[in-house]
Amino acid sequence: MSDLLDVTHHTAALNGIIQHWVSAGDGPPVYLLHGFPETWYAWRKQIPVLAEQFTVIAPDLRGYGATEKPASGYDKRTMANDLAALMDHHGHQRAIVVGHDRGARVGTRFAKDHPDRIDRFVTIDNVPTRVLMEKVSPPLAQLGWFLTFLNVPDLPEVLIAGREEEWLTHFYRSWSYDPEMLTPEEIDVYVRAYRQPGAVRGAAMDYRASAEDVAQDLADADQLITCPVLALWGQEFEQNGRFFDVLEVWKGMAHDVRGFGIPQCGHLCMEEQPDVVNHALLAFLADSSES
């Protein structure tokens, strides 16, 4: 199915790793950063729409998809520097950044570390790492069991090996308002990506960087993001919507924040409610030249 998208695949050695990304369209640059358990393919329903007005660049994050999966560098500062290097490669001094889940964590760090390089930031179904860790409780920990599981060294990789389809399908089904939202063919795209050597370890290493990520977040907790921020989230994803007032959380992270929860939508907002997400993105980005 990914072959039907009008995108171009690229790779280059950037910030010490081989990065893979797809691109489409022409206009102001928009970078789309995926989350777990996905790859750039998560944006397949946004790319054609955004490409009508923007240059769209959707990378596989460090450790994911066709990007290199090194043994280190999964703290969000390093991953934000991956993005900065990718922008340098394209000659983009400034860009719009849209991040979902783990990609939103990278985008948050990028907005703080490189405030002069981001025009607007969209965070989709994400509670910042520091805030999430401050609010951990037994009920929240039970819902977020995978956070602890993936932090165990080596064991997840051993247990998941050969069972990638079952592992991933659990998340796609349980994190969606409609458990059948993804077709078997769409799931297979992700399964093939996560069956690559080192792919499960790469995702686990992303989570294993949480302690370092929190330390980075605490060091500049009082530094607010200066660019306009749009926060979107799925109202039916219990881990975020039940335990957090997502909009208020983000109002504590930036000077200029707007956003809303999407009804009948779980964690994978871009895939489950693409029309709502696309409309919100286009409206928010329409006046990006003013930021």
- The residues that are catalytic are 101, 207, 267
- CA 72 – CA 2 distance, rounded (Å): 29
Reading the block at residue 170, the tokens are: 């659990």
Length of the chain in terms of residues written: 291
Is the separation of the CB atoms in 35 and 22 below 8 Å? no
Report the DSSP beta bridge partners of residue 54. none
Helices (H), the chain: 47-50, 76-90, 102-113, 129-134, 138-143, 145-151, 155-160, 164-174, 184-194, 199-208, 210-219, 238-241, 246-251, 269-272, 274-285
Q: Which of 62, 10, 12, 55 is nearest to 34 (CA)?
A: 62
Q: What is the 3-state secondary structure (H, E, C) of 229-250?
A: EEEEEECCCHHHHCCCCHHHHH
